[in-house]
Amino acid sequence: MDFEFTEDDRAFGRRFAELLDEKLPADWQGFFAEDREALAFTREFCRDLGRAGLLTVSWPLEYGGQDAGVWKQTLLRELMTASGEPRGPQYMNLNYIGPLIMKFGTAEQKARFLPPMARGEVIWTQGFSEPDAGSDLAALRTRAVDHGDHFLVTGQKIWSSYADSPADWNLLLVRTNPDAGRRRGMSVLLVDMTSPGITVRPIESMGGWHEINEVFYDEVRVPRDCLLGPLDEGWGVIGSGLTLERIGIPRYARAQRVVERLCDHVRETGRAGEPDVRQKLADLRVRCEAAKLLAYRAISLVAAGANPAAEASTARIHATLLEQAVGQVGLEILGASGRLGSPTEDHAPLHGLVKQQWVHNIPATIGAGTLEIQKNIVAQTALGLPRSR
């Protein structure tokens, strides 16, 4: 056991932190702040990183990466997440869509889809949930009819992140065989978002202008060479992807950054001596530590070659509840002035950081599998409890 990064890993982290200092605009509030300019910046940022070969440092050499290892990847992700995700929507490519293509893709698919991700030139969205298939994802009905050299896709997806950016490509889960049973008969397609028959309708959310969309598919033609993994076996493909996604976002790092800014704030405003403020901030900071260590435990298992599905869910449960607690308790510490949550408000404490933390994490326990679904996974896989109902 070793709770310290190697000097090599730390030096890597320092170099990346310096790079972020240099590249991020002085008034950068994060990709998730209410700022339409942020998306344009993230595109430029990703292309810059891509040109320097830094966007996919943790990818294997053969896919244009530098084989940087899981801990450098972790440090990089922590810095990105803590800084408000300057990679914008493209974090999804790097965290799980790219790795899924590496794992399940054909040689042609890898050659076609991975280099543009490494260059920072492509935005992917995802199509999993449907209006009648949320937590019960296996109830999905979007249909892909097999026509030999292509599929025709018809149906409706919802909560597709960044589809309106606009996204260039889509990782789409569809039903290819309606007679094979609920979890069989699904497949994953890589769909060109410029294909005729696709309509994107942004959904206005509490979190601001982008993020989530409804996407309609009307006889969309998808070439057969865009089928990812085996036909009718898409459930397993998506399962792998969700495990990667669950540990891919170091949510604790953003939470810890907000806690640190709150500590600065109470010191600067002379409130650091208030006993309840001290207790609350200490508690939040300890929970950041717990969530981080559980993520590191799951990553240690990945590094040892295991697939820690239950450990990933455990880590995610802590991290998402922590993110919500930081927003909620943080606002309680700020009190009435915390109501001013927009970066453009003159008197908004910490430029609205804490209010943003609150609102953006309302769905933290919903996306990528609700808290209840995460708990079901842990109950069944780690504890061997019977399937719940």
Partner 1 sequence: MDLTLSGEQRLLADTVRDLVERECPPDLVREIEKSERGYGDGHWKTLADLGLTGLLLGEEFGGAGQGVLDLVVAAEELGRGAMPTPLLASAVFAATAIDLAGSAAQRARWLPAIGAGTAIATVAVLEPGARDEWGAPDAALTPHGAGHRLTGTKILVPYAHVADVLVVVVAVAGAGPGSGRGLVLVDPAAPGVTLRRQHDGGGEPVFEVVLRDVEVNAEDLLGTPAVAGPALAVALDRMTVASTAYAIGGAQRALDLSVEHARSRRQFGQPIGAFQSVAHRCVDMLTDVEACRYLCYQAAWKLDAAANTDAAANPDAAANPDAAAELGTPGGADFEVAAAKSFANDAIRRVFTHAHQVHGAIGFSMEHDLQLHSRRGKTFELSYGGSTWHRERVARALDL
Sites of contact with partner 1 (CB under 8 A) = 1-6, 9, 71, 74, 263, 266-267, 272, 277-279, 281-283, 285-287, 289-291, 293-294, 296-297, 300-301, 303-304, 314, 317-318, 372, 375-376, 378-379, 382-389
What minimum distance in Å lies between the beta carbon of 307 and partner 1?
15
Three-state SS string across 335-383, please? HHHHHCCCCCCCCCHHHHHHHHHHHHCHHHHCCCCCHHHHHHHHHHHCC
Do the beta carbons of residue 23 and residue 45 sit within 8 Å?
A: yes
DSSP string, 119-184: TT---EEEE--BTTBSS-GGG---EEEE-SSEEEEEEEEE--TTTTTT-SEEEEEEES-TTS-SSS
**Residue with Cβ nearer partner 1 (46 or 288):** 288
Q: How far is the CB of 334 from partner 1 (least distance, A)?
A: 16
CB of 375 to partner 1, least distance (A): 4
Provide the β-strand partners of residue 228.
188
Cβ-based nearer residue to partner 1, 40 or 286? 286
The residue among 204 and 332 lying less far from partner 1, judged by its C-beta, is 332
Q: Which is nearer to partner 1, 19 or 293 (CB)?
A: 293
Cα–Cα distance measured from residue 324 to residue 255, given in angstroms and rounded to the nearest whole number: 9
Looking at beta carbons only, is 107 or 383 nearer to partner 1? 383
Q: Which is nearer to partner 1, 40 or 385 (CB)?
A: 385
CA distance 16 to 147: 48
Identify the CA nearest to 352 among candidates 344, 360, 361. Answer: 344
Smallest separation (angstroms) from partner 1 to the CB of 369: 13
Instruction: Name the minimum Å distance from CB 161 to partner 1.
Output: 26
DSSP readout, 26-60?
TT---TTSS-THHHHHHHHHHHHHHHTT-TTTTS-
CB of 294 to partner 1, least distance (A): 6
In the complex, the smallest distance separating the C-beta of residue 283 from partner 1, rounded to whole angstroms, is 6
DSSP at 62: G
For residue 227, the cross-strand partners are 189
Backbone φ, ψ for residue 367 (5° rounding) = -70, 155
Nearer to partner 1, 141 or 271 (CB): 271
Using the minimum distance from each CB to partner 1, give the nearer residue, 268 or 346. 268
Q: ∠ at Cα 324 (260, 132), nearest 5°?
A: 145
Q: How far is the CB of 365 from partner 1 (least distance, A)?
A: 13
